[in-house]
């Protein structure tokens, strides 16, 4: 189950996510992601398909999770769930949903790639997916996602939690971007359980 | 030290909403999960529902502006904090008319994001939704940030005019066009001589010396960029009117809104108003319609704001009577009745 894997990654990365968010913001990112995923997993039926997993997680993140990053993740899940519902759980529907969700986050957060937000992992990683030949190698995609998340360490914040501390945020990756890399980790492991060995350890994502 | 009269340190907003809904049971009903206030009556011609919201502490804005002729629903957050997107989402579902729902949003990052998330959810449900963003505070005009001007007093006028337009059956696009024009022709500035009392500590949000004024203060207790020595009222109001008019398009007739920030008496507000009318007259500008009172306070801050809306002759010449007709149209809410 994908969301169980995402929760496993978020549990392992909790300390690191909290440290990253404390360096740039209010330090609640790890809590919000972990609590959101715990709540979502507890509500997903055991026999759920991928569309139901995303739809259930969307409702929980949108309705129950505080802050802004949690509900924004809810928007991403909402679009992925709707796309999978219509197009089946193949790669194309998944990618279309991730594209739509990324656009929604950008619209609502009024941020774009380069502003040092979760979009700095989502946007470039999806660009990599579109540039590669099908079929999608999700293990490679997840490794690229970690690279993009790490690269936010060099970005000056313009929007989002880190904009309040300005240049002082530079040097650490953005917690929100790292949270997205963990989603790609879960997608890769869900599609190929053996890919764990070829991916970064969520507890030490740097 | 002026400890507020709250029943509880944590639940005082919810408690106040309960009391408010009880007091105005003929106008509104309260939803508690999630928290929003909706009108129990609306003009049958209205096609688009109007919803606003934002932090609490500015009452009667927004829950007191819910009712026939103005808002269909309002989503109140904690004091000075944005409502959760679920309040906006569920409130919008309750408020939506056959042609959708319009969000009237003050320009603050948290409000923009939470209303934005709610709007995405409503689109998912197939409910047409649009937004009018209010950003009228000239004190935040020149700041080198991406956040732009704050939304303050012009929100009340925008909600009044859009409510009247919605009651004529205007659609979503038409309402957005009217709202954006009204906001574009409205500007405000605020001053304070005493900060609001913090609900948490019971102490003033910031300190000012005697004879000092915070010039360009916000409505969330954030300090202004300038602290000035207090000039005589005539001089102060003339300066404020100048600062506002400078940021407006040219014209000869206006709406004038003198707003109390919570700790200011009507005697004071009408002194300010009389000076503002004179200051405008000295600039050959006539006050067509006016509003005076604490409609957008910042808890109990001692101070006031001046909002001016510059009318457009071509709009006023329209057979339907322009913005003055929208201003005069009936409204029946807890905080504003015409």
Domain ranges of chain B: 12-184, 186-311
Residue A206 falls within a domain, yes or no?
Answer: no
Q: What is the CA radius of gyration of chain A?
A: 15
Which residues pair with residue B212 across a beta bridge? Answer: B229
- Which of A196, A203, A183 has the alpha carbon at shortest distance from A33? A183
Q: Say if the Cβ atoms of A109 and B84 lie within 8 Å.
A: no
Tens digit of each residue's pLDDT (9 = 90 or more) over B113-132: 999 999 999 999 999 999 99
Instruction: Report if residue A204 sits inside a domain.
Output: no
Asked if residue A84 is part of any domain, the answer here is yes
Has B220 been annotated as catalytic? yes
In a domain, A44, yes or no: yes
End-to-end Cα, chain A, rounded Å? 25
- Compute the distance between CA of residue B48 and CA of residue B97 in angstroms, rounded to an integer: 5
Q: How confident is the model at residue B145 (pLDDT cuts 50, 70, 90)?
A: low
CA distance A94 to A136: 11
> Measured between alpha carbons, how far is B296 from B325 in angstroms, rounded to an integer?
23
Q: How many Cα atoms are found within 13 Å in the side-chain-facing hemisphere of A140?
A: 11
pLDDT for B5-17, tens place per residue? Answer: 998 888 999 999 9
Question: For residue B124, what are the contacts with CB-CB under 8 A and spacing of at least 6?
Answer: A78, A82
User: What's A46's domain CATH number?
Assistant: 1.25.40.340
B261 cis-preceded (ω within 30 degrees of 0): no
Query: Is domain B12-184 in CATH 3.40.50.10440, yes or no?
Result: yes
Burial class (CB in 10 A: 0-12, 13-18, 19+), A33: buried
Position B3 confidence tier, pLDDT thresholds 50, 70, 90: confident
Inter-CA distances, B209 with A142, B195, B212, B220, B228, Å:
58, 11, 5, 20, 10
Whether A30 maps to a domain, the answer reads: yes
Question: How many angstroms separate the CA atoms of B303 and B260, rounded?
Answer: 6
- What is the dihedral angle through the alpha carbons of B301, B306, B307, B312, rounded to the nearest 10 degrees? 170
pLDDT tens digits for B288-310? Answer: 999 999 999 999 999 999 999 99
Whether the complex's predicted ipTM is more than 0.85 is answered with: no
Which DSSP symbol is given to B66?
B
B119, B120, B124: best to mutate for the A interface, most A CBs within 10 A: B120
Interface-testing mutation among A103, A108, A117, A157, with chain B (most B C-beta atoms within 10 A): A108
Give me the CATH code for the B186-311 domain, please. Answer: 3.30.1180.20
Supply the DSSP string of A16-55, one letter for each residue. Answer: HHHHHHHHHS-S-HHHHHHHHHHHHHHHS-TT--HHHHHH
- The question of whether B24 is a catalytic residue gets the answer no
Strand partners, B253: B286
CB contact under 8 A, B85 and A107: no
Q: Which of A54, A104, A116, A162 to mutate to test the interface with B (most CBs of B within 10 A)?
A: A104
| Residue B103: strand, helix, or coil | strand
Work out the minimum CA distance from A158 to partner chain B, whole angstroms. Answer: 8
Does residue A29 sit within a domain? yes
Q: How far apart are CA B294 and CA B300, in angstroms?
A: 10
How many angstroms separate the CA atoms of B272 and B232, rounded? Answer: 11
**Rounded distance, CA B66 to CA B38, Å?**
7
Nearest to B89 by CA among A20, A108, A91, A142: A108
CA–CA separation, A155 and B298 (whole Å): 37
Contact B120 A109 (CB under 8 A): no
Label residue B124 left, alpha or beta by phi (over 0 means left) and psi (-120 to 50 means alpha): alpha
Q: Is A71 close to B85, i.e. CB distance below 8 A?
A: yes
Q: Which of A113, A146, A143 is nearest to A16 (CA)?
A: A146
How confident is chain A (206 residues) per 10-residue block, as mean pLDDT?
97 94 82 94 96 97 87 96 92 97 94 93 98 94 98 83 67 94 98 96 90
* Minimum distance, in Å, between the CA of residue B36 and any CA atom of chain A: 14
CA distance B124 to A55: 12
Higher pLDDT, B81 or B72: B72
Residues of B with CB under 8 A from a CB of A: 84-86, 89, 110, 112-114, 116-117, 119-121, 124, 146
Secondary structure (3-state) at A161: helix
CA distance B307 to B186: 7
pLDDT in tens, B24-72: 999 999 999 999 999 999 999 999 999 999 999 999 999 999 999 999 9
* Total of domains in chain A: 1
In the predicted model, is pLDDT for residue B139 greater than 80? yes
Beta-strand ranges (E) seen in B135-211 are 186-194
**pLDDT tens track for B63-79:** 999 999 999 999 999 89
Q: Say whether pLDDT at B110 is over 90.
A: no
> Percent of chain B at pLDDT above 90?
86
- Across the interface, which of B89, B110, B113 has its CB nearest the CB of A108? B113
Of A74, A104, A158, the CB nearest to B146: A158
First and final C-alpha spacing in chain B:
38
Contacts of B257 (CB under 8 A, 6+ apart): B153, B154, B156, B157, B188, B290, B291, B292, B295, B306, B307, B308, B309
CA–CA distance, B41 with B69 (Å, rounded to integer):
9
Q: CB–CB of B288/B153 below 8 Å?
A: no
Sort strands B253-260 and B212-215 into parallel, antiparallel or unpaired: unpaired
β-bridge partners, B255: B289, B309
DSSP state of A169: G
**Catalytic: which of B24, B62, B220, B247?**
B220
pTM for the structure as a whole: 0.90
**Are the C-beta atoms of A82 and A44 separated by less than 8 Å?**
no
Q: How confident is the model at residue B19 (pLDDT cuts 50, 70, 90)?
A: very high
Peptide bond into A135 cis (omega under 30): yes
Distance between CA B305 and CA B204 in Å, rounded? Answer: 19
If you ran DSSP here, which 8-state letter would residue A170 be given? Answer: T
Q: How far apart are CA B96 and CA B279, in angstroms?
A: 42
Residue A159 is part of which domain span?
2-198
């Amino acid at each position: 189950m994908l969301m169980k894997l995402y929760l496993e990654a978020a549990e392992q990365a909790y300390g690191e996510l909290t440290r990253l968010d404390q360096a740039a913001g209010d330090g609640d990112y790890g809590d919000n992601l972990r609590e959101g995923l715990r709540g979502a997993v507890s509500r997903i039926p055991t026999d759920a398909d991928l569309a139901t997993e995303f739809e259930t997680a969307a409702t929980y993140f949108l309705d129950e999770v505080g802050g802004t990053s949690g509900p924004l993740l809810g928007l991403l899940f909402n679009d992925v769930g709707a796309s999978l519902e219509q197009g089946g759980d193949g790669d194309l529907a998944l990618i279309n949903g991730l594209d739509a969700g990324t656009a929604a986050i950008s619209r609502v957060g009024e941020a774009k790639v380069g502003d040092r937000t979760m979009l700095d992992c989502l946007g470039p990683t999806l660009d990599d997916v579109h540039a590669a030949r099908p079929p999608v190698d999700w293990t490679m995609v997840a490794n690229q996602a970690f690279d993009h998340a790490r690269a936010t360490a060099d970005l000056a914040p313009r929007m989002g939690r880190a904009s309040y501390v300005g240049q002082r945020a530079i040097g650490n990756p953005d917690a929100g971007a790292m949270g997205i890399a963990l989603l790609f980790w879960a997608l890769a492991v869900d599609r190929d359980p053996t890919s764990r060995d070829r991916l970064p350890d969520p507890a030490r994502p740097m | 030290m002026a400890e507020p009269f709250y029943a509880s340190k944590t639940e005082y907003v919810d408690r106040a909403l309960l009391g408010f809904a009880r007091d105005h049971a003929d106008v509104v009903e309260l939803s508690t999960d999630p928290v929003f206030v909706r009108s129990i009556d609306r003009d049958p011609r209205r096609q688009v529902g109007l919803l606003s919201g934002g932090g609490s502490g500015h009452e009667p804005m927004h829950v007191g502006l819910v009712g026939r002729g103005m808002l269909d629903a309002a989503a109140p957050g904690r004091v000075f904090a944005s409502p959760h997107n679920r309040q906006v989402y569920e409130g919008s579902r309750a408020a939506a008319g056959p042609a959708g729902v319009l969000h009237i949003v003050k320009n603050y990052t948290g409000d923009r994001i939470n209303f934005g998330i709610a709007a995405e959810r409503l689109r998912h449900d197939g409910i047409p939704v649009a937004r009018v963003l209010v950003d009228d505070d000239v004190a935040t005009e020149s700041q080198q940030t991406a956040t732009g001007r704050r939304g303050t007093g012009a929100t009340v006028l925008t909600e009044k005019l859009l409510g009247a337009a919605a009651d004529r059956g205007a659609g979503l696009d038409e309402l957005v066009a009217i709202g954006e024009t009204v906001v574009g022709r409205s500007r405000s500035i605020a001053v304070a001589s005493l900060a609001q009392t913090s609900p948490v500590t019971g102490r003033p949000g910031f300190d000012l010396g005697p004879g000092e004024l915070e010039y360009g203060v916000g409505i969330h207790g954030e300090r202004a960029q300038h602290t000035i020595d207090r000039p005589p009222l005539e001089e102060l109001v003339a300066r404020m009117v100048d600062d506002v008019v400078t940021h407006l398009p040219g014209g000869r007739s206006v709406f004038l809104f003198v707003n109390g920030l919570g700790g200011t008496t009507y005697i004071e507000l009408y002194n300010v108003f009389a000076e503002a009318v004179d200051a405008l007259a000295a600039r050959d500008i006539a006050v067509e319609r006016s509003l005076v009172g604490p409609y957008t306070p910042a808890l109990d801050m001692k101070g006031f704001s001046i909002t001016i809306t510059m009318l457009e002759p071509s709009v006023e010449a329209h057979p339907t009577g322009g913005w003055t007709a929208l201003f005069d149209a009936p409204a029946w809410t807890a905080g504003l009745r015409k």
